[in-house]
């Protein structure tokens, strides 16, 4: 969140974000870094075959348990017939692309605001390649996950192409989901009995 | 997909999966590994602030473009007020947990079938910790993404605890989303003009 001085002092909102709220959040975290600690959560229940459902509502952040959500979000994972399902929902690797698209976009828009750049339009197209032999355990040299993910971003804004390229590189480096994909993040799984 | 001999020959479905279809898929991929190549896709459009929407429908796999989906799946990313949004949807790092939960679950259930294990119930609880200073660019030593993700799985099945622990370790190693998170996966972002 550098370049805050570039934010027009009389702008209450920029790119749909409350500028003063952003400035206040950053000041609070600078004064007490424990406010930056967040824990996000999901609960998932298997239905049958490739269908399962997640419930998402509570999280911890900014020093307290959040209670802002009146309803629980529910999402359905499914699989297409070629992957033994009935298209009950998008599948998990597709939801990962949705998460990645959203995170890069929000990070881009947030840091655009910090730089005083107004975004007019922004859309992305994502493609992720993988080899099913990894999932199936047919070849241990084939990674089960995405080999790579390609994002094409189309953005229109009131700045130069160079400004957009700089901002995009910054957003790529600072997006939490992009960083979780690019960096090896430990996943600890334990079996519990309830 | 080892231990296929353990699948009862007269079982048409196990854990909600079509056993013969799974066997046929594996045989086809063994005969022509190009059938294992998949490309998943998403298109995302920014709305305002932390709100954006993804559309997911087509993908390539098993040697052709899939056309099994009559409708496009649409998902909304949002942010809670503490992150400058209005809870328009779950946020991207939460959708990542949904993707991870679903993928570990489906991988577990699939390989349970391959081992002749009937799953009766399976649920997971996920927690992911992150430090907002990474996203905000306040400290370059703080990674923007999850520090770690913890999954607690509760599973009831007709096998021993040792069988479940072995299966869980195998599912963790072979889940595409888990592997994408645990392994550094390249994300290439380019700006396009349309």
C-alpha to C-alpha distance for A167 and A135, rounded to whole angstroms: 36
User: What percentage of chain A has pLDDT greater than the value 90?
Assistant: 93
Nearest to A25 by CA among A119, A101, A108, A110: A110
Contact flag B187-A131 (C-beta cutoff 8 Å): no
Is residue B194 predicted with pLDDT exceeding 90?
A: no
Interface size between A and B, measured as CB pairs under 8 A: 468
A55 and B CB contact within 8 Å: no
Would you place residue B73 in the very low, low, confident or very high pLDDT band (cuts 50, 70, 90)?
Answer: very high
In chain A, which residues have their Cβ closer than 8 Å to the Cβ of B118?
Answer: none
pLDDT tens, per residue, chain A with 194 residues: 444 444 454 569 999 999 999 999 999 999 999 999 999 999 999 999 999 999 999 999 999 999 999 999 999 999 999 999 999 999 999 999 999 999 999 999 999 999 999 999 999 999 999 999 999 999 999 999 999 999 999 999 999 999 999 999 999 999 999 999 999 999 999 999 97
Q: Where is pLDDT greater, at B8 or B100?
A: B100
Nearest residue in B to A181, CA atom: B181
Whether A107 and A135 have beta carbons less than 8 Å apart is answered as no
In chain B, which residues have their Cβ closer than 8 Å to the Cβ of A190?
Answer: 150-153
Whether A21 and B84 have beta carbons less than 8 Å apart is answered as yes
ipTM of the complex as predicted: 0.95
Q: For chain A, positions 71-130, list CB contacts with chain B under 8 A.
A: 73, 75, 77, 79-84, 87, 89-107, 109-111, 119, 121-130
Nearest to B178 by CA among B86, B111, B81: B111
C-alpha to C-alpha distance for B149 and B170, rounded to whole angstroms: 18
């Amino acid at each position: 969140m550098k370049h805050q001085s570039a934010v027009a002092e009389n702008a209450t909102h920029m790119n749909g974000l409350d500028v003063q709220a952003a400035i206040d959040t950053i000041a609070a975290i600078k004064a007490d870094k424990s406010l930056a600690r967040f824990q996000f959560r999901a609960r998932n229940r298997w239905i049958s075959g490739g269908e399962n459902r997640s419930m998402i509502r509570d999280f911890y952040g900014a020093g307290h348990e959040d209670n802002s959500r009146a309803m629980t979000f529910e999402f359905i994972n499914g699989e297409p017939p070629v992957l033994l399902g009935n298209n009950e929902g998008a599948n998990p690797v597709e939801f990962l692309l949705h998460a990645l698209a959203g995170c890069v976009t929000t990070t881009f828009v947030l840091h655009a605001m910090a730089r005083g750049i107004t975004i007019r339009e922004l859309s992305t197209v994502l493609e992720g390649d993988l080899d099913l032999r990894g999932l199936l355990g047919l070849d241990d040299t084939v990674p089960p996950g995405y080999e790579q993910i390609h994002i094409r971003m189309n953005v229109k804004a009131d700045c130069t192409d160079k400004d957009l390229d700089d901002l995009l590189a910054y957003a790529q480096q600072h997006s939490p989901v992009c960083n979780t994909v690019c960096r090896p993040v430990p996943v600890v799984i334990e079996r519990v009995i309830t």
